[in-house]
Amino acid sequence: MIKFPEGFYFGSATSSTQSEGAHTDDLKGKDIWDIWYEEEPYKFFDGIGPQDTSTFYKNYKSDIQLLKKVGHNSFRTSISWSRLFPQGFGKINEDAVKFYRNVFEELKRNDIEPFVNLFHFDMPYELQKIGGWENRKVVDYYREYAKKCFELFGDIVKRWFTFNEPIVHVECGYLLCYHYPCKVDPKAAVQVAYHTALASAFAIKEYHELNQGGKIGIVLNLTPAYPRSQNEADVKASNIAELFANKSFLDPAIKGEYDQELIDIIKKHNLMPEYTQEDLSIIKNNTVDFLGINYYQPVRVCAKAHLPNPEAPFMPDYYYDHYVMPGRRMNPYRGWEIYPKGIYDIAINIKNNYGNIEWMITENGMGVENEERFRKDGMIHDDYRIDFYKEHLTWLHKGIEEGSNCIGYHVWTFIDCWSWINAYKNRYGLIELDLETQERRIKKSGQWFKELSEKGGF
């Protein structure tokens, strides 16, 4: 039997935007997802927007009972910045204060440890209008928001995260057009990344100054970069991919500084952000207590086959080509490679190169289309999801056995959720959601997860 350490956190993750429902009875302000859906609903799969979520806002009590039924001793969600501060700053929404306090208290009453994230791709629209993360003022608004969250809920919540997957709102919002504001502007992307790292450090500073007896970290989606071969040019390509995809946030979060090679590349392309020495000292002196890691897939790269176009806007793949490895295992519904050993490589990297900091898997999961095909006797038999978890947990366990300081494993997600522009195209949940009736039904993977948690392994 593969057995995990005593007190290991087993649970799942979601976000406010993906679970609460946008249009509720309180005074929530609009965020960029609400506005983008209003402006371009056709970009969202089947035209389903953020108003059509799993209604956690209204059903949190019964949903928390379902969390218990599928074996959770912990649960990660996020606070909606625009629900708490409809303008992004200033007047607070007291309905939101009551809602979040009720949720966190209900979790604790049911022996489920809340892990609470402050920002999950959901910039308040009023702040996006002044530039969002491009604007240094927004860093200060975020700092005020974070401090208020700690003051309001820090007596209950003892595990905080500043950001979820910050590289995503950088790449998808400012290079690849998958997130609002859909810009292709590498200079803005670098500024956004820098301001995000600074905002995270300020939140950590505020939290530590309050001495609430908990821990604060950041959630990063790490995609280990593997070279096509051990040829020098391929290895160099993978090192540069690693700089952009992983070390760009990992290094400032844990080490308080940026890798010099990354700085040199940014300078070479005239993309350096506006910064001050005072702000750099904030990043230097306010690093994370622990780390959350989302792992879904690796990235495979090779040396470029052709010279890049010098007139094109800079992209990280100026320095490498993506490599399609023959025979790789794929999740065809998401277009992602399935490579369980990547979770072990992450564990060893954190152990060897990042001071063996305390960390946990904060997301790992598999989205599949048309799961109704697998219904038998009223239940979805998602054995493919159970196998996916087992393989990743086996490699994670190996990393822990070799000394990596991992404290938990959270899957994505507990109930089938709305997933940004993919909406409900793929389902990820331990629990099935009927969109028409909002009925919840536990899947086979949910039953298996309960056994995993109760036994502490499999």
Q: Which of 126, 134, 165, 206 is catalytic?
A: 165
Interhelix angle 186-210/166-174, rounded to 10 degrees, is 160
Phi, psi for 216 (deg, rounded to 5): -130, 140
φ and ψ at residue 435, rounded to 5 degrees = -65, -35
Question: Beta-carbon neighbour count of residue 98 at 10 Å?
Answer: 11
- Record the tokens describing residue 44, joined without a space: 């969202």
HEC profile of the chain: CCECCCCCEEEEECCHHHHCCCCCCCCCCCEHHHHHHHHCHHHCHHHCCCCCCCCHHHHHHHHHHHHHHCCCCEEEEECCHHHHCCCCCCCCCHHHHHHHHHHHHHHHHCCCEEEEECCCCCCEHHHHCCCHHHCHHHHHHHHHHHHHHHHHHCCCCCEEEEEECHHHHHHHHHCCCCCCCCCCCHHHHHHHHHHHHHHHHHHHHHHHHHCCCCEEEEEEECCCEEECCCCHHHHHHHHHHHHHHHHHHHHHHHCCCCCHHHHHHHHHCCCCCCCCHHHHHHHHHCCCCEEEEECCCCEEEECCCCCCCCCCCCCHHHCCEECCCCCCCEECCCCEECCCHHHHHHHHHHHHHCCCCCEEEEECCCCECCHHHHEECCEECCHHHHHHHHHHHHHHHHHHHCCCCEEEEEEECCECCCCHHHCCCCECCCEEECCCCCCEEECHHHHHHHHHHHHCEC
Q: How many CB atoms lie within 10 A of CB 377?
A: 5
> Can 94 be counted among the known catalytic residues?
no
363 in active site:
yes
Q: What are phi and psi of 219, to 5 degrees?
A: -105, 120
Q: Enumerate the β-bridge partners of residue 427.
A: 368
Q: Residues 337, 363, 371, 432: which is the catalytic one? A: 363
Strands 431-433 and 440-442: antiparallel
Cite the active site residues: 165, 363
